Amino acid sequence: MAPSSPTKIAVIGCGLMGSALARAFAAAGHEVAVWNRTPSKAKAVGGGTLAFENLIEAVSGRELVVVSLCNYAACFELFSSKGVTSALAGKTLVQLTSGSPADARSGLEWAAGNGVEYLDAAILAYPSFVATDYATVFYAGSRAVFDRHLGTLQAIARNSLYVDEKIGSAATLDCAILEAYYGGSLAFLHAAAMCKAEGLDPKIFFSQKSSFLGLISVTADAAQGMIERNDFSGDQCSLNTHVAAIEHIVRLSKDARLSARFPTELLDNYKRALGAGLGDKELPAVFRTLVQD
């Protein structure tokens, strides 16, 4: 159903993600202008969007400017180009380019100095997930600005979550989730390689994914409570025992002539906790060796 009052939106950046975002806003009934450094990509977005070759014209008369570029350096270069800064003044800029919390702070500083309202956002989705229930977008910045635009922003993800006023909070949460994702993915790929090297079909390993995902889930819940209490004692399995298990993984990798870099790095981290006298604590005690007081 078309919104009762469509929002005039400009989407800057028509790469894989920007194009999907623009089409989702347009499909929800909003008036969407698109601009891309390489104009042919803006023209190819389609879906009822209007392609502009001139960035100032693309943002002119728009209430909401959504940015999806490769990095913040490209954004700053663009925003500070002739006439663009003043064209953005008075608008709300939603920064959907991935970055670090420090990038987000620079973004807010730039926006505040140039009369631009600013939300820093992080999208947790592949382009094909945009506008489906699998897409999540985290937002940081002014709650009032977020609330004012939520109805429009839900066109790209119904799961549009406000994290915190601290402008770096969406990027922090994104980096944290992505670290768990990339680290976990590397772990299961190495695990599949171990199975293959030992002549065990990796599909047997993948058929057991609920075992390792379940273990990670239970451990995450336990870790949360232990970190809150700063107490890592327990009666399930000591770090000493976990380290022995990781040593088997390193040995298997070396015997099978696989890269042992990943399990060796794991072992180093867990052993550092033993060195810190935490051998009789539960696994999440490793947290203590990762933070600096």
Footprint on this chain of ligand NAP (rule: CB under 6 A): 13-18, 36-38, 41, 68-70, 74, 77-78, 97-98, 123, 126-127
Give 32-41's long-range contacts (Cβ < 8 A, gap of 24+): 33/8, 33/9, 33/58, 33/59, 33/62, 34/10, 34/58, 35/10, 35/11, 35/59, 36/12, 41/14, 41/15
Q: Cβ(102)–Cβ(167) under 8 Å?
A: no
**In the complex, minimum distance from the CB of residue 134 to ligand NAP, in angstroms, rounded to a whole number:** 12
With a CB cutoff of 8 Å and minimum separation 6, the contacts of 134 are 125
- Minimum separation from the CB atom of position 16 to ligand NAP (A): 4
The H or E element containing residue 72 is helix 72-79
Q: How far is the CB of 72 from ligand NAP (least distance, A)?
A: 9
Beta carbon nearer to ligand NAP, 103 or 282: 103
The CB-of-115 to ligand NAP minimum distance in angstroms stands at 22
Q: Which is nearer to ligand NAP, 116 or 171 (CB)?
A: 171
- Comparing CB distances to ligand NAP, the nearer of 16 and 244 is 16
Six-digit token string for 137: 């977008």
Q: Which is nearer to ligand NAP, 68 or 253 (CB)?
A: 68
Measured at CB, which residue is nearest to ligand NAP?
A: 15
Asked if 83 contacts 59 with a C-beta cutoff of 8 angstroms, the reply is: no
Q: In the chain, count of helices (H) and strands (E)?
A: 12, 8
Residues 175, 37: Cα–Cα separation, whole Å? 27
* Closest to ligand NAP by CB, 38 or 233: 38
Compute the least distance from the CB of residue 36 to ligand NAP, in Å: 5
